[in-house]
Amino acid sequence: MGDNTTFDAAFLDGIDPRIVERICATLQCDRRDIVDVAPVSAGLTNKSFRFSCAGEAYIYRHPGVGSDALINRTSEAYALGIARKLGLDSTFVHEDPIEGWKISRFIPGCVEFDYGDEAQVDAAMELIRRLHRSGETSPWSLDFHEEALRILGMLEQASYPIPDGFSELRATIDEAAAFLARERGEKVFCHNDFYGPNILVKDGRLQLIDWEYAAMGDYGCDLGNFIAQTPEYSLDDCTRLFDSYFQRPATPAEARHCLACAAVVGFYWYVWSMFQEMQGNPMGEWQDIWRRAAQRFGAHVLPSYRCDPALRARRMSRKEFDRLVARAEAGKASEDELQALEPYRAKRAVLLAAGFGSRLLPVTATTPKPLVRVHGVRIIDRLIDALRAVGIEEIYVVRGYLKDEFDRLLPTYPMLRFIDNPLYDSTNNISSAAAAAGCFENAYVFESDLLLANPGLVTKYQFESNYLAIPVPATEDWCFDADEKGSITRIAKGSDKPCWQMVGLSFWTKEDGARLAADIPAVFAQSGDCAQIFWDDVALVHRADAYDVHVRECSFDDVVEIDTFAELQAIDPAYAVEGD
């Protein structure tokens, strides 16, 4: 570090006087005690200078332009305290967690970290292993892929000229990140900028400095940083590095995981460098180093990931699911990506259509409610059309009241399969669900009297079991309470507090559908009043511990529930009675 400084006697007079005040307050010194001031050119973004006070040398770090958009200084200050406690960084003196300025001890006589020195590399692995195995945690976390996309959003908003070939690289990294998310690498306290320039070497002892990005994260991202931020590391070098970290030969899966982390981390720093360039702080050759790391390691790991059947069968993250669905909807998904989405594909639907619909008299005297026409179209037709639009042809209609009337659907929809419910007039709709209980895997379940105004609510893929619901400040209708993750915690009739008004359109995953195949008949067969409950109570009340069902938001404009003849008249003037 000393080699990167140049003495400037007038430097102190030219800086912000508040900086001098901070130094004096922190070190309990007088301005005249601050001597030997010299700017430091080391570091990629922050502005720093060296000084001495009371015979000891220090570094003052002032945050660089735009760093507040990327760095959480409160998180950094927290991490520095942990690093000092673990003996990983003895240089830390003080940081202001709001403004981000920092004072550290200057360690003279340090030499550059040598990636080619196996002893130094082993010592560096011991440092990071000590951090990872410390058991320390942080309230903050860092996902390099998500953060790269956040920065990319800022670049696009500012109309930054994205380089040619970037979209292809992003597609590679998006896919690698999706596989990483599915692997669920161990989350530990990470440094997140672990590479040579941040490792101080003196007399064979190593210290780890610059904790700006430290937070909880995938352990592999620290190894990925170490690899991605040097142009010299070969795959053989990486293998030796992993063996040193694990203190045993790394498994092929571990090595692949860490190399994928190197690709994602390299991509992050590449995007980060564009942001710095936009701020007037170009990164020079570093930008190419990071880009090449993303390209090289991304291309290396994807073939192995794509042919790993165990990994492809593992449940993906919500972020990965949303990304793949977006690619599928845009017609850009590969065969492997479509295969990964297959467990989430809606494959069938159950339309509960057995009830009488007495409140819709006189129309329902001769016509089952789902067959009532609104603006010339049968209510149930809109549901069936929405299902077929996303490729669902396995459609079950549970019928009861005037069941033969549903045969009129067959000329238009010959694929329909009817399930008769002879108990419809003596039980609640749980009897209809029990009649179709074996059809709930990867299935939409509809109350068939819903007027579907937005067919886009019926999608080809669904991530989890869910009910459509409308956020409301209060309601007299059936509603849900849900936690911060959207999981339904209660179903009730009416609420005077903010809640989710229930819509009778749900989706059930393969796993939950298989459970329902057993649970619905079992609950229905119980003594007491279980024959008179709504079928929804099975998963949400009687067997709630076995299910994690979420709300899926919609609006009153998306779905209309026509409960009465007056409501039907209001929607379709064709039903107006003369003289009304």
Blockwise average pLDDT, block size 10, the chain, 580 residues: 40 73 90 84 66 90 68 88 94 85 89 94 97 96 91 89 91 87 88 95 92 95 96 92 98 97 98 93 94 97 88 80 94 87 94 89 92 95 98 96 97 96 94 93 94 97 98 97 97 97 96 90 89 95 95 96 88 77
Nearest to 363 by CA among 578, 580, 579, 574: 574
Give bridge partners of residue 471 from the DSSP assignment: 500
Predicted local distance difference test score (pLDDT) of residue 354: 95
Q: SS3 of 407, please?
A: helix
pLDDT for the residue numbered 256: 97
d(CA 560, CA 447): 12
Question: In angstroms, rounded to a whole number, what is the distance separating the alpha carbons of residues 530 and 527?
Answer: 7
The closest alpha carbon to 128, from 54, 204, 194, belongs to 194
Residue 171, pLDDT score = 84
Q: What is the pLDDT of residue 360?
A: 85
List the one residue out of 487, 489, 496, 458 whose CA is nearest residue 551.
487
Residue 218 parent element (H or E): strand 215-218
The single residue listed with the structure tokens 């007491």 is: 528
One-letter identity of residue 54: A
Collapsed DSSP state (helix, strand, coil) of residue 439: helix
**Beta pairing, strands 466-472 & 499-508:** antiparallel
What is the model's pLDDT at position 580? 54
Which domains are present in the chain? 2-105 (3.30.200.20), 118-313 (3.90.1200.10), 345-575 (3.90.550.10)
SS3 299: helix
CA distance 19 to 10: 15
Other C-beta atoms within 10 Å of 52: how many?
15
The SS3 of residue 133 is: coil
pLDDT score, position 458: 98
CB 521 within 8 A of CB 438: no
pTM above 0.85, yes or no: no
Tokens 């449940």, located at residue: 315
Phi then psi dihedrals of residue 185, to 5 deg: -60, 150
What tokens appear for 319 in the block? 């972020």
Nearest to 146 by CA among 178, 186, 109, 114: 178
92 beta partners: 104
pLDDT at 2: 37
Q: Are strands 199-202 and 205-208 parallel, antiparallel or unpaired?
A: antiparallel
